[in-house]
Structure 1
Amino acid sequence: MTGVTRWTGREADLLRQAMRKKGKDFAELVGVNPRQIPRWKGRGETIELELDNQAALDTLLAQADPAVQQRFAALLTERAAVEHDERAEELLRADSRTRRHPVDGKVMTLVEEGIHLCGPDKRSVWLEPFLIDVYPTTNEDYARFVLATGHRPPQHWPGGRCPVTLATHPVVWVTWHDAIAYARWAGKDLPSARQWEKAARGPRGRIYPWGNEPTAAKANVAETGIDATTPVFRYQSGVSPYGVFDMCGNVWEWCATEEEPGNGRYELKGSAFTSPFERAAPSLQNAANATMKDNDTGFRCISIA
């Protein structure tokens, strides 16, 4: 498991819990004064640790037993799923391009018209302006759709009800037809592969949403060792130039673009928690039959600007 993107007092305390260590013993492993440990815990996310402490925690996590790493990943995911994320909300409030959709209530952001560099060869492509969901469609979003339309719920919902612990995780086990049904209910559409890619890479054709550096810790991919979906707002350091989250990792996302006209297979973008980081670049292509559904496949929507 790689180091976390940003070590604060919160992540340090979760690692201590995962290792099942008392404060003094944990301080000795990190190489700090034992008085630092309760201070970190008390300050939580308001204190970003010194670089040498972050490096020590990275090493400690990387060398930990797999059981410890799994517990740490589970604690991170559980906390993120039930807590309000102020940092994500601040990002949205600061961005004048965002607005809330009147039907499904999701925050969308504007992708301006113009040329963008597309595909591995960075060819120039013109697109009209559009709005795209800042986050993938969550289980909570999909539950409102199911309640309003009577549409079949995903197979992983116990008794057909959205699990509270997965409310802010991307919905999965949805076919392309399920995704289209949601989009039509909301008065939206699925993005074309080119629209999705522009929202992920920006107009200048970054390799990844955050830039050109291959940093697996900025996305929920196989190398993180989480082996499950995570809350859609978790990877703030991995947002695209337009402020769009989870364009690498977490879940593959259905697009409106057919692989070949009439063959019933539609493009998927972004990779997933099951995929190696090498599959995460938004320019890469993937496709599946419209009836396919899996535990790592979801979607997000667009609308006309």
Structure 2
Amino acid sequence: MQAFRTALRRNGRDFATEVGVSHRMLVKWETGGENIIPRPGNQAALDTMLATAGPEVQERFAALITERAAADQDARAEQLLRREGQHTKSPVDGKLMVPVEEGIYLSGPGNKPTWIEAYLIDVYPTTNADYARFVRATKYRAPQHWPNGKCPDSIIDHPVVWVTWHDAAAYAKWAGKALPTSQQWEKAARGTKGRTYPWGDAPTAAKCNVLDSEIGRTTPVSRYQSGVSPYGVFDMCGNTWEWCATETTHRRQELKGSAFTSPFTRAAPSLLNDADVTMSDNDTGFRCVSAARKGSALPSPVPSPTDQSGARRSLVTRGWAGLARPREEIYPGRGPAVSIPKSVVSGGCHHASGGDQIASRGRQHALGT
């Protein structure tokens, strides 16, 4: 409630008058937080106020809700920002993939027009659950942060880490896919028009898991609903660096995306970074791509959250009541939604190998630190 009033830039008495309640009732609402459910008439007034507010108000409100979700490590507000796209399930590893159409996009810090073929890219980074299936099927070595070679349940939906480029390439080969080139990765992150960040040009650190977020560990790959790319791809800023197929120099491959260990200033998808192929760390993972099926229709990028008045409106129509409801999370590649406790969603897990300690061995960041 307070977030909406702040977005409108109204004082308490004026806001209460517009909603049709006393100032004392408004104070009770704001103090009660998500435990307060307005009466239908008051909820209708709130819905109308947001629906008729200008886009700047709606954008401020969405930003405030997202920032609160990030600050509280509470994914329920983020869930309301979820948008659905056209997905394909990969036949081997079962991961959801989204198509990216052929054509020109603006590449690199200089936004150079670049043409690439159509392809499919994983909606989410490769998770520990995905990698566990690969390990079971191939007897490949498990990552070092899995106790006794077993993935802890608390991080099954987190991106797999402590994998070298060779490990990532081995998984991709098993799955019948490939690691993305840096150009494929960047287009899926920025769209065709050269967005600075997946969600747009606004430098909003609350939309991703970076050092500024002060979470200090990986988060579930579906956590940041408001930070998805124009194609609906998650975690293209923050959480973990991702290996690419593009070689920079002998035995060094590009990395994209930044991580929970990196400051937000290094999160832009256009920036360059690389590492030795033998490097592994607690903040480095990957995702895969595959060739687009011939004859299939490829959709255009979906609008950003700030272009979707319906999505913003749902935050109010479902907001104060909806945020108090139990949250359901989908573990990518594991079938139907299942209810999980908040401790799993926001608590994560400290890696057995040292977790939050940063070990940037072999990695040379382009911006330098």
TM-score (norm 1): 0.74
1:159 to partner: Cα distance: 1.3
Alignment of 1:190-205 (within 5 A): 190-205=179-194
Task: Give the distance between the partners of 2:89 and 2:66, measured in 1 at CA.
Answer: 38
Describe the superposition over 1:223-269 as per-residue Cα deviations: whole angstroms up to 9, x where unpaired.
11101101111111111110000000000000000112xx1000000
Aligned mate of 2:143, from 154, 169, 191: 154
Contact 2:67 2:207 in 1 (8 A): no
* Cross-structure match for 2:201: 212
Letter paired with 1:248: C
Letter paired with 1:197: E
Contact 2:67 2:206 in 1 (8 A): no
Task: Give the distance between the partners of 2:229 and 2:143, measured in 1 at CA.
Answer: 28
1:41 to partner: Cα distance: 3.5
Alignment of 1:167-178 (within 5 A): 167-178=156-167
* Cross-structure match for 2:273: 286
* Cross-structure match for 2:258: 271
Task: Give the distance between the partners of 1:144 and 1:57, measured in 2 at CA.
Answer: 36
Task: Give the distance between the partners of 2:203 and 2:67, measured in 1 at CA.
Answer: 20
* Cross-structure match for 2:34: 40
- Is residue 183 of structure 1 aligned with residue 142 of structure 2? no
Contact 2:29 2:36 in 1 (8 A): no
Aligned mate of 1:118, from 107, 131, 138: 107
Q: SS at 1:171's partner residue? A: coil
Task: Give the distance between the partners of 2:154 and 2:98, measured in 1 at CA.
Answer: 27
Letter paired with 2:272: Q
**Structure 1 residues 55 and 178, CA gap change in structure 2 (3 angstroms):** closer
**Structure 1 residues 134 and 57, CA gap change in structure 2 (3 angstroms):** closer
**Structure 1 residues 266 and 162, CA gap change in structure 2 (3 angstroms):** same
* Cross-structure match for 1:254: 243
* Cross-structure match for 2:290: 303
* Cross-structure match for 1:22: none
* Cross-structure match for 1:234: 223
**Structure 1 residues 60 and 105, CA gap change in structure 2 (3 angstroms):** closer
Task: Give the distance between the partners of 1:198 and 1:59, measured in 2 at CA.
Answer: 26
Q: Which gives a bigger RCO, structure 1 or 2 (Cα 8 Å, sep 6+)? A: 2
Structure 1: runs of 5+ lacking an equivalent:
1-6, 9-30, 63-68
Alignment of 1:91-130 (within 5 A): 91-92=83-84, 95-96=85-86, 98-130=87-119
**Structure 1 residues 32 and 291, CA gap change in structure 2 (3 angstroms):** farther
Letter paired with 1:127: I
Task: Give the distance between the partners of 2:69 and 2:233, measured in 1 at CA.
Answer: 29
The total of aligned residue pairs comes to 254
- Is residue 166 of structure 1 aligned with residue 155 of structure 2? yes
Q: Percent of aligned pairs with the same residue?
A: 59
1:40 to partner: Cα distance: 1.8
Task: Give the distance between the partners of 2:289 and 2:66, measured in 1 at CA.
Answer: 38
TM-score (norm 2): 0.62
Task: Give the distance between the partners of 1:142 and 1:58, measured in 2 at CA.
Answer: 30
Task: Give the distance between the partners of 2:68 and 2:221, measured in 1 at CA.
Answer: 27
Task: Give the distance between the partners of 1:197 and 1:240, measured in 2 at CA.
Answer: 10
**Structure 1 residues 41 and 151, CA gap change in structure 2 (3 angstroms):** farther
Task: Give the distance between the partners of 1:37 and 1:99, measured in 2 at CA.
Answer: 44
Task: Give the distance between the partners of 1:202 and 1:54, measured in 2 at CA.
Answer: 21
1:37 to partner: Cα distance: 6.0
Task: Give the distance between the partners of 1:215 and 1:304, measured in 2 at CA.
Answer: 33
1:38 to partner: Cα distance: 5.9
Letter paired with 1:186: A
Q: SS at 1:259's partner residue? A: strand
**Structure 1 residues 53 and 87, CA gap change in structure 2 (3 angstroms):** closer
**Structure 1 residues 297 and 40, CA gap change in structure 2 (3 angstroms):** same
**Structure 1 residues 218 and 53, CA gap change in structure 2 (3 angstroms):** closer
